[in-house]
Amino acid sequence: MTDALRFHVPEPEVRPGGAPDFSNVPIPKAGSVPRPPIDVDPRDIRDLAFSIIRVLNRSGEAVGPWAGLLTDDELLEGLRHMMTLRAFDARMQMAQRQGKTSFYMQHLGEEAVATAFRKALQPGDMNFPTYRQAGLLIADGYPMVTMMNQIYSNEADPLKGRQLPIMYSSKEHGFFSISGNLATQYVQAVGWAMASAISGDTKIAAGWIGDGSTAESDFHSALVFASTYKAPVILNVVNNQWAISTFQGIARGGAGTFAARGLGFGIPALRVDGNDYLAVHAVAKWAAERARANFGPTLIEHVTYRAGAHSTSDDPSAYRPKAESDAWPLGDPIVRLKNHLVLRGVWSDERHAQAEAEILDTVIAAQREAEKHGTLHSGNKPSVRDMFEGLYAEMPPHLRRQRQQAGV
Amino acid sequence: MPRKTMIEAIRDAMDVSMGRDEKVVVFGEDVGFFGGVFRCTQGLQAKYGKSRCFDAPINESGIVGTAIGMAAYGLRPCVEIQFADYMYPAYDQLTQEAARIRYRSNGDFTCPIVVRMPTGGGIFGGQTHSQSPEALFTHVSGLKTVVPSNPHDAKGLLIAAIEDPDPVIFLEPKRLYNGPFDGHHERPVTAWSKHELGEVPDGHYTVPLGKAAVRRPGSAVTVLAYGTMVYVAQAAAEETGIDAEVIDLRTLLPLDLDAIVASVKKTGRCVVVHEATMTSGFGAELAALVQEHCFYHLEAPVARVAGWDTPYPHAQEWDYFPGPARVGRALIETMEA
């Protein structure tokens, strides 16, 4: 007799009411993963797809072969960027609750990923971000007022009220227009990188995707094209453990890690401690140097944890233990960098508290400035005419007729 | 003037464009070394190198997705989807990305890409090599949709599409590649070398997007057609002896509404013809526009002749194809109404 087939649906370790359990997330010691040369044969570093590159140890020291790339000033700047992003998020989250906009997505717990990554790129390089990489803009000096104008869809919104809040676009800051669809931007990043190589340029691209969206076919498309044409692109997977309510095991299946997806394509795949500013920066820099030196794409899995809700429309207490975030074994990125800077003797609790207050003032000042231009439900808005403009370079006759019908 | 097939004219358009602008790149499945399954890109890789004309993996969302990224960089990709029937994996990239990038970024990024794809049946291609999905593109805000009907227009429209600042879907009626097929499948097809619209000027010229052409002037009834149906409609007019005016729309979006309205107001009757399925087809849009703009000039209901609302069959291809007999019946009925 043959046994009946069994259907398998993966489940997270715990659900609400249970005790958080990350014993299934092995954390290697900081400094224990080697730093290969950028011209390494991808076959020789397959282990890196299953480990985690870490620089900051539990005492706050920077250790191992990936340490030592950033100066005190650069690290202090990095800390400031992460703190700014966190303060910005808190204010905008509150603004959404106050009805000043329809929607917001915060980065709580993931601040290191995009802010550290941005500093490994050069002017002219292009990111194809998802909705949780505003750190790229903050770290590149994009004005917070402009971000808020976009979030408020007010009269000064550079996108004229056409896009959902936080779907920024800034070519000048190497930040491709966020779509709001998932995974589509990943293969576009590969195309941008191919174009740079076709043109004999020196610029590189970076694609961004979340753990859940790696299940989309565009993820596969991106890896095929990146692999085939050796595109100068960095393919980032931000594994923050949760795709709204779905734990990462549903997208990952039996692969072990998301980084492992790169191996079948011959793409070097590295996992990095996404809550370690120094590690993210070091791995990004390695991948950027590789891409710029014509060695092709690199896949980076940033192992992190989404400490907040997916968006203002989400309630994580419905699907995961409330204290899970506190139990996350890689800690908080801001606290970790702060402790490291204190250990280096260039920072202190007092200075940190003072910086926090200063940053909050700056964010509030930006918010006041933005609100002078209106919020979603009050003050001045983009015109109705703006709804019809800018779809095509030249407005076609049928749209002109409709605009006239609308009386604008 | 040299006469060319539609394949040669399309190839010539890409050749001219690549020669004039090094930002123009061409890729797709079998497009590089081999020159495409219909040979539209033959010789381009040898002439312009592998960086400008190359083979792509069998991955339509990847072909269009990378083209969008290239356009964001500043190139002007002209990519081939091997058959229009294969475009569905790329539909997300076309409709939610290419079509909207200019709008959603307020012009910060743009998407000047051309996506070429052979369309229509009549080659015993069955349900996966015969489709006419134009209405799936015209329904999408932000795309332009072009369907040439002859070598002269194909070259001029394709050059215009490549130079256009926005994404253009370029549907090539594959049954017209080698001659002006009029639906009489049992007869030999006239070659383009014997047809005046097979005359293709050398070098650069454009046929503007959004301008229709009158292929057969007439006073009794207006036939709105595009692609293969232009010749089917002309054959139906000749065979019924009805003095039909056949308008070749050439571009479905933007649509030359002025040309349509002028003709229907003159004739007072209108038959809309396409090979795609009837329900929610582009003919529905045309019929609606005609009644909106010409209602008080109409002597008869606007008629539609289209593919039946079934998948394109294999053995029953010629029962499915809206040939000159069906179009002719619609002309007669419209005249008698």
Partners of B146 on chain A (C-beta within 8 Å) are none
B96 and A398 in contact by Cβ < 8 A? no
* pLDDT above 80: residue B25: yes
Q: Which of B57, B73, B108 is the closest to A228 by Cβ?
A: B57
The length of chain B in residues reads: 337
Flag whether pLDDT at B1 surpasses 90.
no
Judge contact between B309 and B278, C-beta under 8 A. yes
Whether B45 and chain A come into contact, CB under 8 Å, resolves to: no
What domains can you pick out in chain A, each with its CATH number? Answer: 42-306+326-377 (3.40.50.970)
Residue B95 forms contact with A (CB below 8 Å): no
- Cβ neighbours of residue A405 closer than 8 Å, sequence gap 6 or more: none
Q: How many CB atoms lie within 10 A of CB A192?
A: 32
- Sorted by where each starts, the structural domains of chain B and their CATH numbers stand as 6-198 (3.40.50.970), 213-336 (3.40.50.920)
CB distance B66–A397 less than 8 Å? no
| Cβ neighbours of B314 (radius 10 Å) | 15
Spell out a b/e string for A140-169, using b for 16 or more CB atoms within 10 Å of the CB, else e. bebebbbbbbbbbbbbbbbbbbbbbbbbbb
* Contact assignment for A198 to B51 by CB distance below 8 Å: yes
pLDDT tens per residue, range B57-116: 999 999 999 999 999 999 999 999 999 999 999 999 999 999 999 999 999 999 999 999
Count Cβ atoms within 10 A of the Cβ of residue A108 and give its class: 0-12 exposed, 13-18 middle, 19 or more buried.
Answer: middle
Interface contact A392-B142, CB threshold 8 A: yes
d(CA A210, CA A194): 22
Mean pLDDT of chain B: 98
This prediction's pTM:
0.98
Cβ distance of B69 and A221 shorter than 8 Å: no
CB contact B58 to A (< 8 Å): no
**What confidence score (pLDDT) does residue A142 get?**
98
Provide the pLDDT for residue A5: 97
The complex scores an ipTM of 0.97
Distance from the Cα of A106 to chain B's closest Cα (Å) equals: 21
Residue A24's pLDDT is 85
Kindly report, residue by residue over B190-239, the tens digit of the pLDDT.
Answer: 999 999 999 999 999 999 999 999 999 999 999 999 999 999 999 999 99
Which amino acid belongs to residue B218?
G
Task: With beta carbons under 8 A apart, name residues in chain B contacting A171.
Answer: 105, 108-109
Q: At what angle do helices A72-97 and A111-118 cross, to 10 degrees?
A: 130
- Say yes or no: B254 contacts chain A, CB-CB below 8 A: yes
CA distance B63 to chain A (A): 9
pLDDT of residue B20: 98
Catalytic one among B129, B139, B293, B314?
A: B129
| Residue B129 among the catalytic residues | yes
What pLDDT does A255 receive?
83
Q: Which residue stretches of chain A have pLDDT < 50?
A: none
pLDDT digits (tens, 9 = 90+) for A219-239: 999 999 999 999 999 999 999
| Of A149, A170, A159, the residue nearest A380 (C-alpha) | A149
- Are B28 and B80 in contact by the 8 Å Cβ rule? The answer is yes
